[in-house]
């Protein structure tokens, strides 16, 4: 299996009741997720998270701490993914799709409750409690 690093963003509003969700279309399937995608060569997780958020949601963000790390084997695609999810808040932009790949067909704010209903594939419900964060640091080139 090919190793793929993925950077996602849990973009929440001031009330912490709503998050940005994107509707993905890949081949014959459609599914809701938070904005994110593969880390490109030479890119840090943080850079990838910010870029993917802009492409998929049109929003400029600043990252908070690390929300979670998940590991998934996508057997059909032959990928072994490590998915890093960061907390994020909006600092600019407007909600629109700028996805160069054309995989995103809708973007919108969704209540955390509704998001959990449409993302039942997650091992545990999404929570917007950024008081419990893990550390992430890019330590540069060595």
Which residues contact residue 110 at a Cβ distance below 8 angstroms, ignoring those fewer than 6 apart?
A: 18, 19, 20, 21, 32, 118
CA 53/CA 100 separation, integer angstroms? 12
- Rounded mean pLDDT for each run of 10 residues along the chain, 142 residues in total: 96 95 92 96 97 98 92 88 94 95 95 94 80 68 56
Tokens of 53: 């958020």
> What is the reported pTM?
0.89
CA 27/CA 45 separation, integer angstroms? 26
Domains of the chain: 2-118 (3.90.79.10)
Write down the pLDDT at residue 77: 85
Write down the pLDDT at residue 120: 86
| C-alpha distances in Å from residue 3, one per residue of 10, 48, 60, 104 | 23, 16, 28, 23
Write down the pLDDT at residue 142: 55
Write down the pLDDT at residue 136: 65
Write down the pLDDT at residue 134: 73
């Amino acid at each position: 299996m090919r190793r793929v690093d993925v950077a996602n963003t849990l973009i929440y509003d001031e009330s912490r009741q709503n998050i940005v969700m994107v509707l993905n279309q890949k081949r014959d399937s459609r599914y809701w997720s938070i904005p994110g995608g593969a880390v490109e060569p030479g890119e840090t997780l943080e850079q990838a998270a910010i870029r993917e958020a802009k492409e998929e949601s049109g929003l400029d963000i600043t990252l908070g701490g690390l929300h979670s790390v998940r590991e998934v084997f996508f057997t059909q695609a032959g990928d072994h993914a490590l998915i890093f999810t960061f907390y994020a808040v909006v600092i600019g932009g407007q909600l629109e799709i700028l996805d160069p790949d054309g995989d995103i067909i809708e973007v919108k704010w969704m209540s955390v409750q509704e998001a959990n209903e449409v993302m039942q594939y997650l091992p545990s419900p999404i929570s917007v409690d950024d008081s419990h964060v893990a550390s992430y640091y890019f330590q540069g080139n060595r």
